[in-house]
Each structure stands twice: as C-alpha cells, then as structure tokens.
Amino acid sequence: MAIDLSKLSQEMTVWRRDLHANPEFGFEEKRTSAFVAAKLREFGLDDVVEGVGGTGVVGTLKRGNGNRAIALRADMDALRINEQGSAEYRSRNPGIMHACGHDGHTAMLLGAAKGLAEGGGFDGTVRFIFQPAEEWGKGALAMLADGLMERFPFEEIYGLHNMPGLPVGHFQTKAGAIMSAEDNFEIVLHGVGGHAARPHWGNEVLVAACATVMNLQTIVARRLSPTDVGVVSVTELITDGTRNALPGLARILGDARSFRPEVSAKIEEEMRVIAEGTARSYNVSAEVLYTREFVPLLNDAALVDEALAAARDISDPSHVTTAKEPMTGSEDFARFLEHVPGCFAFIGNGEASAPLHNPNFDFNDDALIHGASFFTAIVRRRLLPSKG
C-alpha cells in the first residue's frame, strides 16, 4: 500500500509540535509515553508495552513469516532549559524544553511506525523503542535492566539524531567511533575561610581553585598523546564565599570526553595528581570524585554501509556522506551497541538551525519526512520480503 507522504508529514508536524509544547524531563515522560503508546495502538501495532525502564515504550510490528527482528530507537526526554523561542507551540512547562530535538526524533519514529503498519513491505519483526532519560545517560541502561533484550529480542538497532548545520535532507554517519564517552568530575577543595581583609588568618580556597582550573588544561595539552582525542572542560566553580568573606570550600565541576577506555583512565589519573598537588601547594586539601556516565558509541561497519544505502534509497545520493571524524558529544544509544550491532546516524536540521542545547533551538519540521523515510527504508532493506 502506498503511503501519502505529504499527509504523513503534516501529521508528524502536529505530533512534533504537541510534544514540543509539553516537554518532560528524564523519567518524568508520563504524558509523552502515553501519547506515544496511544499512537502506536491507533496504528494497529501487534503489541505495545509501556513502563519499560520506567517511562519507556516498546511497540512491536510483525509482517510475514520472517524470524529476524530489528529495532529502531528514538529518545523522548527534554532538558532543564528555559525556552526563549517565540513559536506558538513553545514550551508550556517553565524551565523545561526540547532543546535537543527529541520531540522530532519521537515524531519521526512514530511516522515510520505508521508508514510500516499501513504499507508493510518487510518480512519479520520491528521493535520501536521510545527511550526515556537519554540526556543524563540513564534511560538505555534502565530499559536494558528491565529486560529489554529478553522481553523484546532483536538482532540489530538503528537510531537518528538531528544535526544543526547539516542541510535538511542530508544524512551522515561513519563506521567505528562516532560519538565519545563522557566522564563527570567534581573536585572539592577544603581550606579555612575568613574575612576578606585578613587572608593571612586562614587558608582560603579560591586562588587554589583558580590555579587548579588552569592546571587541568595541561592534561590534554601535555599529558595525553597528541594522537589521542580528549577534552577536559570545567563548567562550574562554586564556593561558600561572599562579597567580603573568603571561601573555605570550593567545588570544581565539569566533564571529560574520550574515545578509548585507556584515555579516560589517563585523564582521571592525571586529574587526581594535578588536583592534589595544586591543593597541597596552597596548603589546602582536595578530593576528586570521578564517574563514567556514557561509553563511546561504536557503529558496526557493515550496518553503516546498510544505513548509508538506505539513506541513498530515499534521498539524493550526493546528500549522503561519510563523516570524516567523530563527534565529542555523547549518546546513550551506545549502551544498546554493547549488546547488538547497529548504526547511529545524523540527519540535517538545516544550516540556519540554532545549536543543540540552546534556548532558541527548534527541530526543523521539514526534516521529519526524511527521518521517517530513512527508518522505513532500513527496515525494508534489512527485513527483505521473500521472493518466493
């Protein structure tokens, strides 16, 4: 059955804007999950299960007699950011917005589910995975811990993320490492605060904290091999001081990115040496808290070729490219790839798009049909109907 792509595009736009206006933070996506589940049941899927991993939804669609199963995944959560856009569908939830396009990702996958339910064209099983809490790296783990692979088995998995700066209708991915690991750190400096007029009466920590922030920059510049990719970013410096009081406590927070476990380990090792050594030189003490939140996202080479071919099936081949280098952003889609092979790809959000995680960001509705068509094409390539 042929699908009216123009009508589907209009429907996805309505869904996407509804989701954008009603964003929910990770593991709080109750309205979003209910919306998704209702749509999947409306489309006539064989099975729809809610509450997977907290607020996740898994829909199952079967056609023919094929015994192979593949999965398609979209993330549903929003960010704790105050939206500054002026669209009529802007966020109705103060302090929460879809600043990363997960509203678009969800709408695209819903569109693919509707198109495949109505049009078929494949032989086997498709799992539609709508995941919570991607932004803080807990949603995929929660779904896996809730028995995702055992309850809804599949052999390979595919995902899309919008990319500002990449033209609409363009696709890009690469084999191997395409997104980095993310480690979080907190360095706590302890000293003795006191009156700002008498710094010699205590051991304040602000100067030590500033020195530590500067010294951390030498990890990538001087302590990692020039052939290794690493990023160390300090994002917060918090003290208990005030206008006329020197602080006795300072917290330095940030994150580190890398593509190999040994690089992550080296960053942590050097961070501890620098923090403790710098603190000692200022006669204060330091403790380092270091956690690993995201693992590197490693695409399967053979399935990257399949994804690129599927993108060429539905787009101008010149709009489908292999990325030259990986991104240092992180994605918990990587957790699924620890269990089955798969491919994560980028879809253009337009050259004029605001950056991801920006208060003015908005998913480009013109990209919806391209994403839904990609998901449909990959299913029909990987679950090819028998010619017999």
For the residues of 125-165, what is the DSSP string, one character each?
Answer: EEEEEEES-TTTT-HHHHHHHTTHHHHS--SEEEEEEEETT
202-219 pLDDT, tens digit per residue, is: 999 999 999 999 999 999
Q: How far apart are CA 71 and CA 137, in angstroms?
A: 19
Beta-carbon-side half-sphere exposure of residue 303 (alpha carbons within 13 Å): 21
Q: How far apart are CA 190 and CA 200, in angstroms?
A: 16
CATH superfamily name and code, 5-179+297-382:
Zn peptidases (3.40.630.10)
234-246 pLDDT, tens digit per residue, is: 999 999 999 999 9
User: Is residue 386 predicted with pLDDT exceeding 80?
Assistant: no
Residue type, 356: L
Q: What would the mean pLDDT of 266-283 be, rounded to a whole number?
A: 98
Handedness of CA 301, 161, 293, 146 (dihedral sign): negative
15-28 pLDDT, tens digit per residue, is: 999 999 999 999 99
Cβ of 119: how many Cβ atoms within 10 Å? 14
**Cβ-Cβ contacts under 8 Å for 364 (sequence gap 6 or more):** 104, 162, 168, 348, 349, 350, 353
Q: What would the mean pLDDT of 346-354 be, rounded to a whole number?
A: 98
User: Is residue 57 predicted with pLDDT exceeding 80?
Assistant: yes
Query: What per-residue confidence (pLDDT) applies to 1?
Result: 56
State the Cα angle at 62 between 60 and 64, rounded to 5°: 170
Query: What per-residue confidence (pLDDT) applies to 225?
Result: 94
What is the band of 2 on the pLDDT scale with cuts at 50, 70, 90?
A: low
Query: What per-residue confidence (pLDDT) applies to 79?
Result: 98
Residue type, 66: G
Q: How far apart are CA 309 and CA 157, in angstroms?
A: 16
The three-class DSSP label of residue 143 is helix
User: Is residue 84 predicted with pLDDT exceeding 70?
Assistant: yes
Most confident of 17-21, 224-228, 382-386: 17-21
Q: What would the mean pLDDT of 40-54 be, rounded to a whole number?
A: 98
Q: What would the mean pLDDT of 327-351 be, rounded to a whole number?
A: 97
What is the band of 284 on the pLDDT scale with cuts at 50, 70, 90?
A: very high
User: Is residue 322 predicted with pLDDT exceeding 90?
Assistant: yes
Q: How far apart are CA 129 and CA 143, in angstroms?
A: 9
Phi, psi at 142, each rounded to 5°: -65, -40
Q: Where in the chain is the domain with CATH 3.30.70.360?
A: 181-294
User: Is residue 51 predicted with pLDDT exceeding 90?
Assistant: yes
What is the bridge-based pairing of β-strands 230-239 and 320-322? unpaired
Q: What would the mean pLDDT of 98-123 be, rounded to a whole number?
A: 98
User: Is residue 230 predicted with pLDDT exceeding 60?
Assistant: yes
What is the bridge-based pairing of β-strands 156-163 and 342-348? parallel
What is the band of 324 on the pLDDT scale with cuts at 50, 70, 90?
A: very high
Q: How far apart are CA 116 and CA 63, in angstroms?
A: 10
User: Is residue 274 predicted with pLDDT exceeding 90?
Assistant: yes
Query: What per-residue confidence (pLDDT) applies to 162?
Result: 98
Q: Give, in order, the Cα–Cα distances in Å from 140 to each of 129, 158, 196.
A: 10, 14, 48
What is the band of 135 on the pLDDT scale with cuts at 50, 70, 90?
A: very high
Q: Where in the chain is the domain with CATH 3.40.630.10?
A: 5-179+297-382
Contact between 234 and 253 (Cβ < 8 Å): yes
Whole-number mean pLDDT of the chain? 97
Q: What would the mean pLDDT of 62-71 be, rounded to a whole number?
A: 97
Q: What would the mean pLDDT of 126-145 be, rounded to a whole number?
A: 97
User: Is residue 165 predicted with pLDDT exceeding 60?
Assistant: yes
Q: By percentage, how much of the chain surpasses pLDDT 70?
A: 99
Q: How far apart are CA 327 and CA 93, in angstroms?
A: 31
DSSP-derived letter for residue 62 is: E
Q: How far apart are CA 381 and CA 388, in angstroms?
A: 17
User: Smallest Cα–Cα separation from 343: which of 176, 182, 135, 181?
Assistant: 176
Query: What per-residue confidence (pLDDT) applies to 144?
Result: 98
Q: Give, in order, the Cα–Cα distances in Å from 305 to each of 56, 172, 173, 259.
A: 29, 11, 9, 22
Q: How far apart are CA 274 and CA 268, in angstroms?
A: 10
Q: How far apart are CA 182 and CA 231, in angstroms?
A: 9
Which residue bears the tokens 């088995």?
153
Q: What would the mean pLDDT of 173-188 be, rounded to a whole number?
A: 97
Q: How far apart are CA 174 and CA 163, in angstroms?
A: 14
Contact between 345 and 173 (Cβ < 8 Å): yes
User: Is residue 58 predicted with pLDDT exceeding 80?
Assistant: yes
148-159 pLDDT, tens digit per residue, is: 999 999 999 999
User: Is residue 311 predicted with pLDDT exceeding 90?
Assistant: yes
Q: What would the mean pLDDT of 334-340 be, rounded to a whole number?
A: 98
For 181-294, which CATH class? alpha beta
Q: How far apart are CA 152 and CA 63, in angstroms?
A: 16
Q: By percentage, how much of the chain surpasses pLDDT 90?
A: 97
User: Smallest Cα–Cα separation from 168: which of 119, 217, 101, 120?
Assistant: 101
Phi, psi at 386, each rounded to 5°: -65, 140
DSSP-derived letter for residue 152 is: S
User: Smallest Cα–Cα separation from 155: which of 74, 68, 213?
Assistant: 68
